[in-house]
């Protein structure tokens, strides 16, 4: 299998006043192409810190992180921004979208940053919105979309650049049960159909139960990494 | 992309944007009106003072202003006057000869400046004839006539029709003495002129002081002072050919120039204060907006937008606010100024003060490119430059801490 993410000895220390807090303690982790993985653990275990480090949002204190074989820990702020733009898709718990842009413009925005020509980016934005089931809602602004629809737009935006991996941080935390299950089914379906690699930091048992790989982190270290075969994948 | 996003962002909080725009519009409009009024006042002051006697410019022999000696004279004033009057900016010219004399009436004697003037020409350049309070101004055909300041006449105990004895030094060193008839008294409101000036026909002056057909200066008038100011290079070239120099209004009335510069300096402080206040209002509003959107900026950085791009977007928001506000402010300020300029602003209670500068009691704002643009552009530029503050603030954000902001 091709490794999309390779973490070796990733350590992250924070200073909280005079106290040194170890958020990650030498994490070794490989995410392969096509993985549909959940990263679970109690609050403060280091899930988000690890996700941020992999996504180039935060720098580890020590260790190596490679995305598609390229070391990212030494990159400067602009190079990290480019990496996030082209190689990584993000879905957050909330505040995912630009409120003044419509659904299609939110998706297009990424492609505009990448310098994609207008007609091509509009076509691609519509294609991914169709993929996430938002056909007909392209011109609505976030305020006129439900929470689930907003998260679908966020997923569409994350997919627009055809990234190496989509990192989702508690994507279902603000959604009701039905909407959350629909979103998980959507991401699972995209993973099946398009082979998109997903790594999701989550507490949500519904998400964990739908992933084919389950990683547990505790006190800044990986305590379990289990691959499993799901009985049946629901359609997106 | 950034422009479109910035444009939409500024309308996210329409009330706040309206408040910011109102601040810029009002401040810009105020600067247009106040500066127009100020320039109008300066223009009226300058023209009123210069029209009384000086003219808008003067051609003189070199060094005459430092040492106004009767021997420093223009040999053929008529030739230069004809040349100058052929210029589009010049409406009239008038030759003058000047020296200092002792005036007597019986036992009373006073020193004074005597001006030899061409009555018909002088009336086109100077408004002194309009300040006659008793008798009449000089006219063509006058031989021994003299007009003098009312205060000087009072000091000499002279009345209309009285004989005035004038004693001075002719150009050749002989004594110049003459007996003149008082035909008019003027009161300009300027103490120096009213106590020390007497005018007689130029021909009489030339005979009395033995200067032939010569004159000491040529006073130049135009429709507006600005016309003559613009024509100065041309005037100087013509004067230079005759070995003369041209003195502009500031050289003729340095005290007035100093008063205007002093007033403009104090006004500048007021304008700077206004600009600073407006900049702080706008900056405060924008920084509040930046603070509120910190999480959003974190998200934008997370999806691949560079901090500098976000900083530029904020700066464009400020640029848009400044441009719209300044444009509306120029339009509003110009409209108000143009409306007021139709009838001017009357200051009846300040008539006595204004007369010190021979000014009318009604001031007309002067709306031109400088008064319409200087203030608003200074405001706009200051706001745009101040945009460096939120720009740097956004540039210093890091995605993780920005997304954690409450």
What pLDDT digit, counting tens, does each position of B228-244 carry? 999 999 999 999 998 99
Q: How confident is the model at residue B326 (pLDDT cuts 50, 70, 90)?
A: very high
- Cβ within 8 Å of residue B339, ≥6 positions away: none
**What's the burial of B287, exposed, middle or buried (CB within 10 Å: 0-12/13-18/19+)?**
middle
Residue-wise pLDDT for A76-111, tens only, equals: 989 999 999 999 999 988 768 999 999 999 999 999
Q: Domain for residue B275, yes or no?
A: yes
Residue contact B302–A84, C-beta within 8 A: yes
Whether residue B251 is contained in a domain is answered as no
Kindly indicate the confidence band of residue A236, based on its pLDDT and cuts at 50, 70 and 90: very low
- Tell me the percentage of chain B whose pLDDT exceeds 90: 63
Of A187-201, B35-49, B78-92, B348-362, the range with the lowest mean pLDDT is B348-362
The answer to whether residue A24 sits within a structural domain is no
pLDDT tops 80 at residue B359: no
Arithmetic mean of pLDDT, B317-335: 94
The bridge status of strand B145-149 relative to strand B197-201 is antiparallel
**A55 → chain B, closest CA residue:** B302
Cβ contact A112–B1 (<8 Å): yes
B107: in domain: yes
- Kindly determine whether residue A100 and residue B295, on different chains, have CB atoms separated by under 8 Å: no
A7 domain-assigned: no
Closest partner residue to A113 (CB to CB) among B295, B299, B304 is: B304
Among B242, B270, B285, the domain-final residue is B242
Q: What total of structural domains would you count in chain B?
A: 2
Give the model's pLDDT for residue B406.
62
Residue B318's contacts (CB-CB under 8 Å, 6 or more residues apart) are: B282, B286, B383, B384, B386, B387, B390
Instruction: Say yes or no: B338 and B189 in one domain.
Output: no
User: Interface pTM (ipTM) of the complex?
Assistant: 0.89
**pLDDT the model gives residue B65:** 87
Residue A212 lies in a domain: yes
Q: Are residues B84 and B223 in the same domain?
A: yes
Shared-domain flag, residues B268 and B308: yes
- Contact indicator for B170, B176 with CB cutoff of 8 Å: yes
Q: If pLDDT is split at 50, 70 and 90, which confidence band does A62 have?
A: very high
CB atoms within 10 A of CB B265: 9
Both B216 and B314 in one domain: the answer is no
For residue B357, what pLDDT is reported?
65
Same domain as B266, residue B199: no
Write the pLDDT tens digit of every residue in B113-136.
Answer: 999 999 989 999 999 999 999 999
Compute the nearest-CA separation of A90 from chain B (Å). 6
A53/chain B closest Cα distance in angstroms: 10
Does the residue B55 lie in any domain?
no
Q: Does the residue A67 lie in any domain?
A: no
Which among B212, B242, B272 is the end of a domain? B242
What is the domain count for chain A? 1
CA distance A23 to chain B (A): 14
B185 and B288 assigned to the same domain: no
Same domain, B84 and B233: yes
Q: Which domain holds residue A43?
A: 34-49+74-227
Q: Report the SS3 class of residue A178.
A: helix
Q: Chain B residue with minimal CA distance to A160? A: B303
Give the mean pLDDT of A170-182: 85
Boundary of a domain, candidates B208, B242, B276? B242
Banded model confidence at residue A204, pLDDT cuts 50, 70, 90: confident
pLDDT computed for residue B320 by the predictor? 93
List pLDDT tens digits, range B269-321.
Answer: 998 998 899 888 888 888 888 888 898 899 999 999 998 899 999 999 999 99
Q: Which residues have a Cβ under 8 Å from the Cβ of B148 and sit 6 or more positions away?
A: B103, B112, B158, B164, B182, B185, B186, B197, B198, B199
| Average pLDDT of chain B to the nearest whole number | 91
The stretch B248-274 carries a mean pLDDT of 92
Is the pLDDT score of A233 beyond 50?
no
In this predicted structure, what is the pLDDT of residue A229?
Answer: 77
- In a mutational test of the A interface, the residue from B7, B12, B303, B398 whose CB has the highest number of chain A CBs within 10 Å is B303
Pairwise CA distance, residues A229 & A212, whole Å = 6
Q: What percent of chain A has pLDDT over 90?
A: 63
Instruction: Write out the residue range of the structural domain in which residue B220 sits.
Output: 63-242
Answer yes or no: is A234 within a domain.
Answer: no
* In a domain? residue B56: no
Q: What pLDDT is stored for residue B205 in this prediction?
A: 95
Give the nearest partner residue to B303 out of A77, A101, A157, using CB atoms: A157
Q: Does residue A17 fall inside a structural domain?
A: no
Q: Is residue B57 part of a domain?
A: no
């Amino acid at each position: 299998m091709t490794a999309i993410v390779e973490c070796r000895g990733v350590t992250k220390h924070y200073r909280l006043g005079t106290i040194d807090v170890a958020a990650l303690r030498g994490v070794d982790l490989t995410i392969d192409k096509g993985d549909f993985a959940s990263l679970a653990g109690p609050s403060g275990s280091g899930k988000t810190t690890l996700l941020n480090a992999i996504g180039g949002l935060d720098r580890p204190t020590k260790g190596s992180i490679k995305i598609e074989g390229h070391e990212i820990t030494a990159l400067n702020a602009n190079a990290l921004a480019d990496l996030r733009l082209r190689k990584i898709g993000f879905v957050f718990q909330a505040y995912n979208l630009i409120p003044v842009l419509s659904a299609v413009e939110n998706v297009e925005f990424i492609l505009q940053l990448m310098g994609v020509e207008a007609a091509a980016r509009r076509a691609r934005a519509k294609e991914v919105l169709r993929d996430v089931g938002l056909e007909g809602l392209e011109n609505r602004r976030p305020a006129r979309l439900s929470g689930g629809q907003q998260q679908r737009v966020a997923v569409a935006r994350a997919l627009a650049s055809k990234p190496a991996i989509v990192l989702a941080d508690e994507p279902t935390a603000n959604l009701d049960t039905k909407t959350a299950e629909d979103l998980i089914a959507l991401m699972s379906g995209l993973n099946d159909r398009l082979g998109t690699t997903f790594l999701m930091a989550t507490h949500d048992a519904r998400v964990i139960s739908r992933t084919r790989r389950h990683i547990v982190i505790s006190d800044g270290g990986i305590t379990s990494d289990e691959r499993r075969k799901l009985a049946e994948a629901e359609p997106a | 992309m950034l422009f479109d996003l910035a444009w939409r962002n500024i309308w996210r909080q329409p009330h706040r944007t309206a408040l910011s725009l109102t601040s810029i519009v009002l401040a810009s409009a105020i600067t247009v009106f106040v500066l127009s009024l100020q320039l109008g006042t300066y223009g009226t002051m300058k023209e009123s003072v210069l029209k009384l006697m000086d003219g808008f410019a003067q051609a003189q022999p070199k060094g005459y202003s430092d040492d106004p000696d009767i021997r420093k004279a223009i040999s053929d004033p008529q030739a230069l006057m004809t040349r100058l009057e052929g210029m589009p900016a010049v409406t009239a010219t008038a030759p003058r000869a000047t020296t200092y004399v002792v005036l007597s009436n019986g036992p009373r004697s006073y020193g004074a400046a005597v001006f030899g003037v061409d009555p018909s020409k002088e009336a086109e350049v100077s408004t002194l004839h309009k300040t006659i309070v008793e008798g009449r101004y000089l006219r063509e055909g006058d031989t021994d006539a003299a007009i003098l300041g009312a205060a000087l006449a009072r000091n000499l105990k002279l009345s209309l029709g009285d004989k005035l004895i004038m004693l001075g030094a002719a150009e050749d060193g002989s004594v110049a003495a003459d007996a003149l008839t008082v035909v008019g008294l003027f009161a300009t409101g300027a103490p120096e002129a009213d106590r020390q000036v007497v005018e007689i026909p130029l021909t009489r002056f030339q005979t009395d002081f033995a200067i032939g057909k010569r004159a000491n200066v040529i006073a130049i008038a135009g429709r507006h002072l600005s016309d003559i100011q613009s024509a100065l290079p041309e005037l100087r070239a013509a004067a230079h050919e005759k070995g003369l120099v041209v003195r502009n209004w500031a050289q003729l009335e340095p005290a007035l120039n100093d008063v205007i510069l002093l007033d403009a300096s104090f006004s500048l402080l007021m304008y700077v204060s206004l600009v600073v206040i407006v900049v702080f209002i706008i900056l405060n509003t924008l920084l509040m907006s930046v603070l509120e959107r910190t999480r959003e900026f974190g998200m934008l950085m997370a999806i691949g937008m560079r901090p500098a791009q976000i900083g530029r977007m904020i700066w464009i928001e400020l640029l848009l606010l400044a441009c719209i506000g300044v444009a509306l402010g120029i339009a509003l300020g110009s409209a108000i100024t143009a409306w007021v300029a139709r009838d001017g602003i009357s200051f009846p209670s300040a008539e006595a003060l204004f007369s010190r500068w021979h000014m009318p009691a009604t001031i007309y704002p002067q709306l031109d490119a400088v008064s319409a643009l200087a203030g608003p552009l200074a405001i706009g530029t200051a706001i745009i430059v101040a945009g460096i503050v939120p720009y740097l603030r956004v540039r210093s954000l890091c995605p993780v801490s920005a997304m954690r902001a409450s």
